[in-house]
């Protein structure tokens, strides 16, 4: 049996075709029993059957294999579960006959509280705490519910029965109910057999729910289930779901393949949502929307989350990745398509511009030496959780956008539809998608894209003008400033002085020269729309990676950079390009390839910025700059904060505190971000007004002075004034937290509490996260402490690590803890301490994340040292603060 330990994948002796699963959940004792009968095709000489099982008690006497033709029953001579590998090995006394048979197994398990496998979630009904039973199987936890071949390629059909369930409870699975038998206070519910699918998509929910319902034009029943009394909060998601199913049916040219779609809000849920075939599960905050108490950002998050999970019904469920190496086929596509759908439903949200902000996570992560290729080898089940990251999601999505831009939208759509039809109800690899796009476009897609998916990282294209020529040079961009050795086929786009004057080509070598005299001497006056003076102004800048459609950075020489800054000040560039110039400059400064002073000077060009996405990124960058300044040049921190406050005054005054009649969705979101930033940077007028409104809110929870869109900003402002000698704001927020039953409001409060600069209060907040008052998945909301709380948070993490690693055993949540608390440090000395601590406590599910976090600390430390050595920084900061605009 030892030969099967430590293997990345199951042996191929037997092929599962159909599962007949019977489960009996006990919500009071928090356990379950069950049986599974697997139609199995023996396809190789073997005395073994090896499948997955974890945290289950298998009744050895119940296990049998009955050959279909001979009806001979085989009983295993040995049975062993190897928990470390999550496998169940059955050894028989003789070789099993080829062909079909039935493997029968009886088992028992615990309804755990780890939010994976078959687990329990808690809720309140009529002031009484109750349990519901929920499944979360992706990536490798179906094996915690029933023995199975728990890999994406082992697709089968599933017949599910739930037995002895309290008759008043709602019972859901992937398919509609085919039979329900009530026996007194209990019922047994059977479901239609599913189409062929992977084990990680099987789903079961048992609990007390209300629902709202609608239908698509072709009769698909769509429901949103939520806690009793909250049905109205499901109406927005329901509307989005029905419209999105219609859109995808048309876009993919393939109808939704099941007769119903249920979406369920689960109080305890480790991820944001899960695309189970026909039964999509969500955190409350990702599915429910309260018209009065949810913010505009919550509404957008619900729309994008629903569009993302429904995209998986085609990309992932109908066509499934062959192995986790190709996870990006699921997540990258679902991310990209979710923005396509959201833009179609809500064009006024300008979601494609916001997509750039989403993708900064992928660019930042992929600039680490400890990044990984999009197609990454997975050698053990423990490794899978860690690749559900910004590489698979946002880099994957960005590459799809880049390829769509290169091939053209119509050609891309036709090729996708062909790919889905060809691989429906089966599995696919990355090269299968490239083949479909290559066939549909006639372009060498495989050659173009392999450099982007099979190697980690991306290029920075350095550009300079010399003798009326543009000189390009590509190198791998690393935030450490090190020299990488990657090379890519880069789709270069550029425009000169006007978006009407542009060029595109593929940079297939390390360097290239382009004669740009035709651009530099361009004459817009041919159109008759501009005078010669304006022509000269427009022709004085060149922007590369137009509209940021390429996954790469651009480094301009000093002359080109100065001209772009002038173009930004004069409002010549689009929002996407203003975003790109800023984000590239920030990344280059972090890598010590551009001075901190020049980055601050560039920020000054954005004083009259009003675009939501550009300002949102500017604020994120400003937070990071303030933290670096606090470590590098603490004597300049007050001046830098003054400068950052000045940057936001124009937009703050335009938006004000109160919503305006008919204002845009984006303005509603922006107001809160700007006010929160002003509070963090210490703007007294903002903090004072926030305090006034907060006290009005404490007196009247429905006051118009504190609409949902600015609540987080006000809560942050309140916490900035909290200290051990002035605790009232903190205690008032805890009171609001305890009173509300809206998860979005609880999350707003949790994410604000840690912004307090007092380390003693910070420790209280962190300890509060470990109490039963905070749901496990929500604790990560409160981890982003202020600069002054870093050491407190690190000591707290060390002191509580055993409890944290046991309670938050989900790989995703563990990585959030490590990233949030370790990454903000900026000293080499701290690297050694962090490394030694975790070396003594190895955990395979956070190995990659820990290395990435330590690398970030090294990058921060190097950046701090570089900023500290800038001789003219003080003069630049003083000039920027006092500059008259």
Other Cβ atoms less than 10 A from the Cβ of 100: the count is 16
The CA-atom distances, in angstroms, between 589 and each of 479, 567, 824 are 9, 21, 17
Burial 185-211, CB ≥16 within 10 A → b, else e: eebbbbbbebbebbbbbbbbbbbebbb
Residues 6+ apart with CB under 8 A from 663: none
State the Cα angle at 545 between 541 and 551, rounded to 5°.
155
- Is 683 annotated as belonging to a binding site? no
Query: Was 665 annotated as part of a binding site?
Result: no
Residues 309, 386, 438, 609: which is the catalytic one? 309
Own/partner contacts of 503-509, CB < 8 Å, gap of 24 or more, are 506/448, 507/461, 507/472, 507/474
DSSP code of residue 467 = T
Q: And the tokens for 44? A: 């190789």
DSSP, collapsed to helix, strand or coil, labels residue 123 as strand
Helix-helix angle 665-680:612-632, to 10 degrees:
10
* φ/ψ of residue 205, rounded to 5: -135, 130
d(CA 355, CA 576): 10
* Residues 669 and 295: beta-carbon distance below 8 Å: yes
Q: Give me the sign of the Cα torsion angle 775, 779, 780, 786.
A: positive
> φ and ψ at 155, to 5 degrees?
-80, 145
Phi first, then psi: what are they for 268, rounded to 5°? -115, 115
Nearest 5°: phi and psi at 213? Answer: -140, 150
Burial class (CB in 10 A: 0-12, 13-18, 19+), 702: exposed
Here the tokens at position 726 are 């002035």
Rg of the chain in Å (alpha carbons):
28
The SS3 call for residue 522 is: coil
Residues 6+ apart with CB under 8 A from 528: none
Tell me the two tokens of residue 301: 């998050």
SS (H, E, C) 185-227: CEEEEEECCCCCECHHHCCEEEECCEEEEEECCCCCEEEEEEC
What is the rounded CA–CA span in Å between residue 520 and residue 598?
25
**Separation CA 799–CA 707 (nearest Å):** 39
Phi and psi at residue 670, to the nearest 5°: -65, -40
331 labelled ligand-binding? yes
CA distance 877 to 642: 10
Long-range pairs of 792-796 with CB within 8 A, sequence gap ≥ 24: 792/759, 792/762, 792/763, 792/766, 793/762, 793/766, 793/821, 794/821, 794/822, 794/825, 794/830, 794/834, 796/763, 796/766, 796/767
Helix (H) or strand (E) holding 24: strand 14-26
Q: Are 16 and 40 in contact (CB under 8 A)?
A: yes
CA distance 442 to 438: 5
Is 309 a residue of the active site? yes
CA–CA separation, 369 and 853 (whole Å) = 11
Tokens at 766, concatenated: 């962190």
H/E stretch holding 748 reads helix 743-753
Q: Which of 417, 397, 427, 433 is nearest to 318 (CA)?
A: 427
Q: Quick one: CA dihedral 790, 791, 794, 796, positive or negative?
A: negative
Distance CA 232, CA 123 (A): 18
- Compute the Cα dihedral for 316, 320, 323, 325 and give only its sign: negative
Annotated binding site: 308, 312, 331
Annotated binding site for Zn(2+): 308, 312, 331
Active-site residues, by number, are 309
């Amino acid at each position: 049996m030892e030969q099967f330990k430590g293997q990345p994948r199951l042996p191929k002796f037997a092929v599962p075709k159909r599962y007949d699963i019977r489960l009996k959940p006990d919500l009071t004792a928090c356990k379950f029993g069950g049986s599974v009968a697997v139609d199995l095709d023996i396809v190789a000489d073997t005395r073994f059957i090896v499948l997955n099982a974890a945290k289950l008690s298998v009744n050895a006497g119940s296990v049998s294999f009955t050959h279909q033709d001979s009806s001979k029953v085989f009983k295993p001579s040995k049975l062993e579960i190897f928990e470390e590998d999550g496998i169940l090995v059955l050894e028989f006394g003789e070789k099993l006959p080829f062909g079909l048979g039935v493997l029968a197994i009886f088992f028992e398990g615990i309804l755990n509280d780890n939010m994976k496998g078959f687990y329990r979630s808690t809720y309140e009904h009529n002031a009484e705490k109750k349990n519901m039973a929920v499944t979360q199987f992706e990536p490798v936890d179906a094996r915690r519910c029933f023995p199975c071949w728990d890999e994406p390629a082992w697709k089968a059909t599933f017949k599910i029965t739930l037995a002895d369930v309290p008759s008043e409870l709602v019972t859901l699975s992937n398919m509609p109910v085919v039979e329900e038998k009530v026996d007194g206070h209990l019922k047994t519910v059977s479901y239609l057999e599913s189409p062929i699918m992977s084990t990680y998509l099987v789903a079961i929910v048992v609990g007390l729910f209300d629902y709202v319902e609608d239908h698509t034009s072709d009769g698909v029943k769509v429901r949103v289930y939520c806690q009793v009394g909250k049905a109205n909060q499901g109406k927005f998601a329901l509307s989005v779901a029905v419209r999105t199913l219609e859109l995808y049916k048309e876009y993919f040219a393939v109808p939704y393949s099941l007769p119903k779609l249920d979406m369920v809000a689960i109080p305890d849920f480790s991820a944001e949502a899960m695309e189970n075939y026909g039964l999509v599960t969500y955190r409350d905050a990702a599915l429910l929307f309260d018209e009065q108490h949810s913010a505009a950002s919550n509404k957008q998050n619900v729309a994008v989350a629903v569009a993302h999970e429904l995209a998986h019904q085609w990309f992932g469920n109908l066509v499934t990745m062959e192995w986790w190496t190709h996870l990006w086929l699921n997540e990258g596509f679902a991310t990209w398509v979710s923005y396509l759908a959201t833009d179609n439903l809500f064009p006024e949200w300008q979601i494609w511009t916001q997509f750039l902000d989403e993708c900064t996570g992928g660019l930042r992560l992929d600039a680490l030496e400890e990044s990984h290729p999009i197609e990454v080898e997975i050698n053990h089940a423990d490794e899978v959780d860690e690749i559900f990251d910004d590489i698979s999601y946002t880099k994957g999505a960005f590459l799809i956008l880049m390829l769509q831009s290169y091939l053209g939208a119509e050609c891309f759509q036709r090729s996708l539809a062909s790919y889905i039809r060809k691989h429906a109800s089966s599995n696919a690899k990355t090269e299968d998608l490239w083949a479909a796009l290559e066939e549909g476009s006639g372009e060498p897609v495989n050659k173009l894209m392999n450099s982007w998916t099979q190697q980690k990282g991306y290029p920075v294209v350095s550009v300079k003008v010399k003798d009326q020529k543009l000189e390009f040079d590509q190198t791998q961009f690393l935030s450490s400033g090190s020299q990488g050795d990657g090379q890519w086929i880069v789709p270069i786009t550029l425009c000169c002085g006007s978006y009407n004057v542009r060029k595109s080509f593929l940079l297939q070598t390390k360097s290239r020269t382009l004669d740009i005299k035709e651009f530099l001497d361009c004459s817009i006056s041919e159109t008759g729309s501009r005078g010669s003076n304006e022509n000269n102004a427009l022709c004085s800048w060149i922007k590369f990676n137009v509209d940021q459609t390429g996954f790469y950075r651009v480094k301009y020489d000093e002359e080109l950079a100065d001209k772009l800054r002038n173009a930004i000040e004069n409002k010549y560039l689009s929002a996407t390009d203003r975003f790109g110039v800023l984000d590239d400059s920030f990344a280059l400064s972090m890598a010590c390839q551009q001075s901190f002073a020049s980055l601050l000077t560039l920020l000054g060009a954005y004083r009259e910025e009003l675009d939501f996405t550009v300002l949102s990124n500017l604020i994120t960058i400003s937070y990071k700059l303030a933290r670096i300044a606090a470590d590098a040049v603490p004597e300049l921190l007050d001046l830098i904060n003054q400068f950052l406050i000045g940057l936001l005054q124009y937009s703050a005054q335009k938006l004000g505190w109160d919503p305006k009649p008919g204002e845009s969705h984006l303005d509603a979101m922006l107001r809160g971000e700007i006010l929160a930033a002003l509070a963090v940077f210490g703007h007294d007028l903002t903090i004072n007004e926030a305090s006034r409104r907060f006290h009005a809110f404490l007196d009247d929870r429905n006051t118009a002075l504190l609409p949902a869109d600015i609540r987080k900003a006000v809560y942050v402002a309140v916490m900035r004034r909290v200290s051990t000698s002035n605790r009232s704001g903190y205690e008032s927020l805890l009171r609001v937290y305890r009173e509300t039953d809206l998860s979005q409001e609880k999350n707003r409060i949790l994410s604000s509490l840690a912004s307090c600069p007092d380390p003693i209060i910070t420790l209280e907040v962190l300890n509060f996260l470990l109490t039963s008052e905070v749901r496990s998945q929500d604790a990560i909301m409160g981890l982003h402490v202020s600069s002054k709380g870093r050491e407190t948070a690190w000591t707290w993490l060390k002191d509580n690590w055993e409890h944290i690693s046991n309670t938050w055993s989900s790989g995703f949540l563990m990585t959030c803890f490590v990233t949030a608390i370790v990454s903000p440090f900026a000293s080499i000395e701290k690297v050694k301490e962090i490394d030694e601590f975790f070396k003594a406590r190895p955990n395979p599910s956070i190995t990659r994340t820990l290395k990435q976090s330590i690398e970030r600390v090294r990058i921060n430390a190097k950046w701090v040292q570089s900023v500290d050595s800038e001789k003219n920084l003080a003069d630049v900061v003083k000039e920027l603060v006092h500059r008259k605009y």
